Amino acid sequence: MQEPTTNSNLACIFDLDGVLVDTAVYHYKAWKQLANDMGFDFTEAQNEHLKGVNRMRSLDMILNWGGVEKTAEEKEVLATSKNTQYVSMINKMTAAEVLPGTINLLTALQQAGIKIALGSASKNAGVILERTQLTHFFDAIVDGNLVSASKPDPEVFVKGAAMVGVSPAQSVVFEDAQAGVDAALAANMKVVGVGQPENLKGAHVYVKDLSEITVEEIKALVKG
């Protein structure tokens, strides 16, 4: 009997928010509440700038937009308050919130023997993967709890590739944020930009969502 073709020398590393699921709306609601409580507004356009940015850096940007200064202790309290509200929303997420094409692509990659890793800035990645029933696809999960430097630093993706034993040159990153694209390029990896090219400069390929790319196209990207 013929052996199935395996490609365990390839890795696909997925960002979470905006690529596999869309939690931006929950981040937005929780940050908006916090800003409103401090007496200023927070817009959806501003929320766009927070994609891929870690929690404390996001808070700093929001305080700056609101023209408000806080001590380090006050910022800890504010970040915890935002996160408590955010977690209460993501705890209600279901598998129905997984973005189009995700299950088909992850299944096809798994069947092809390609390693699958998560590379997310979120400290809540574990609960989101559990709630949306995606955990079982992953050979490695690198999230905001495991990295010390946020995107555009390449640490999150370098760690993901190392954990699945694949070289950066054989790794493909899927990202919806410019900081994430920059991080993947700095790691010397190929990048699939998920979203509009003007917001994701430097990616090697662009898709609207994961239904627009196949395993064959991913293999070709690494070879090319």
Residues annotated catalytic, as ranges: 15, 17
Stretches 12-20, 42-50, 110-118, 162-170: which one binds Mg ion (CB under 5 A)?
A: 12-20
Q: Which of 139, 155, 176, 182 binds Mg ion (CB under 5 A)?
A: 176
Residue 127 CB coordination number (10 Å): 14
Q: Does 52 bind ligand B16 (CB under 6 A)?
A: yes
Q: Which of 10, 11, 18, 137 binds Mg ion (CB under 5 A)?
A: 18
Cα–Cα nearest to 125, from 115, 135, 116: 135
Count residues contacting ligand B16 (CB under 6 A)? 20
How many Å apart are CA 60 and CA 78, to the nearest integer? 11
How many Å apart are CA 162 and CA 140, to the nearest integer? 9
Ordered DSSP codes for 47-71: HHTTTT--HHHHHHHHHHHHT----
Q: Which residue is nearest to Mg ion (CB)?
A: 18
Q: Are 84 and 127 in contact (CB under 8 A)?
A: no
Q: What is the C-alpha end-to-end distance of the chain, expressed in Å? A: 31
Q: Give the distance, in angstroms, between the CA of residue 153 and the centroid of all CA atoms in the same chain.
A: 14
Q: Which of 10, 11, 15, 166 binds Mg ion (CB under 5 A)?
A: 15
Q: Does 51 bind ligand B16 (CB under 6 A)?
A: yes
Contacted by 123, from Mg ion, ligand B16, none: CB < 5 to 8 Å by type = ligand B16
Q: Binding string to ligand B16 for residues 6 to 45, with x set by CB under 6 A, is what? A: ---------xxxx--------x------------------
Count residues contacting Mg ion (CB under 5 A)? 6
Q: Does 58 bind ligand B16 (CB under 6 A)?
A: yes
Q: Does 160 bind ligand B16 (CB under 6 A)?
A: no
Report how far apart, in Å, the C-alpha atoms of 97 and of each of 101, 102, 131, 134, 224 are.
Answer: 12, 11, 10, 11, 33
According to DSSP, the residues that pair with 21 across neighbouring strands are: 17, 98
Q: Which of 10, 11, 50, 78 binds ligand B16 (CB under 6 A)?
A: 50
Q: Are 126 and 19 in contact (CB under 8 A)?
A: no
Shortest separation between residue 216's beta carbon and ligand B16, angstroms? 26
Q: Give the distance, in angstroms, between the CA of residue 168 and the centroid of all CA atoms in the same chain.
A: 18
Q: Which of 7, 33, 46, 54 binds ligand B16 (CB under 6 A)?
A: 54
The footprint of ligand B16 (CB under 6 A) covers 15-18, 27, 50-55, 58, 83, 120-124, 144, 177
